[in-house]
Amino acid sequence: MPFVEMTLPVLQFPPELLLQAQGVRVAFFDVDGVLTDGGLYISEAGETLKRFNTLDGHGLKLLQKAGITPAVITGRDSAPLRLRLQALGVEHAVFGTEDKRPAAEQMLANLGLDWTQAAAMGDDWPDLPVMRRCALACAPANAHVEVRHVAHHTTQARGGEGAAREFCDLLLVASGRYAALLAGYTL
């Protein structure tokens, strides 16, 4: 039988960032510019199409395995978005709202959590009220400058190109579950 070497994680984050993220139990995500590249493709029939990154999707699934609830709060609503979230098992979502703070507060109440147990990833002004209240705020590399300014961490990846996965990985490392989850894929 061939020898299989156990893969050790190579991903690292600054210790102070990991400490800040340690108690996170829910992660709020915007959609356009975070889970997508922010571009809108509109067909002749008026249908809006979006492109999602599979790395980001797998990150949302891994959060759930680690006991961290992914939640989506977005200003838009579309059938493709609902289908994607359903396929990923994301149960907590609010669609079509620009006033995201009350939606986040209601989700926290429903989950029995508070802001100190929440993290958020956003890319534009409507995300600021949630990001400013969370224990950890994250922004994609291509987020608006005001959003990057309040973020505790700005990803190397752009929105829709793995930024959400980088955020998920940060939360997984901080939770202490990253190495065990990775080991499950190296056997």
Binding residues for Mg(2+): 30, 123
List beta partners, residue 69: 26
Q: Taking the C-alpha atoms of 77, 79, 82 and 87 in order, what is their torsion angle to the nearest 10 degrees?
A: -160
Q: Which strands form 92-94's sheet, in the order they lie side by side? A: 92-94, 69-73, 26-29, 118-121, 136-139, 153-154
- C-alpha closest to that of 135 among 116, 151, 153: 116
Q: Running DSSP on this structure, what letter comes out for residue 116?
A: G
Six-digit token string for 20: 């800040």
Q: Pick out the residues of the known binding site for substrate.
A: 32
Q: Running DSSP on this structure, what letter comes out for residue 7?
A: P
Q: Pick out the residues of the known binding site.
A: 30, 32, 123
Six-digit token string for 110: 């429903």
- C-alpha closest to that of 56 among 150, 147, 186, 159: 159
Sign of CA dihedral 130, 127, 104, 157: negative
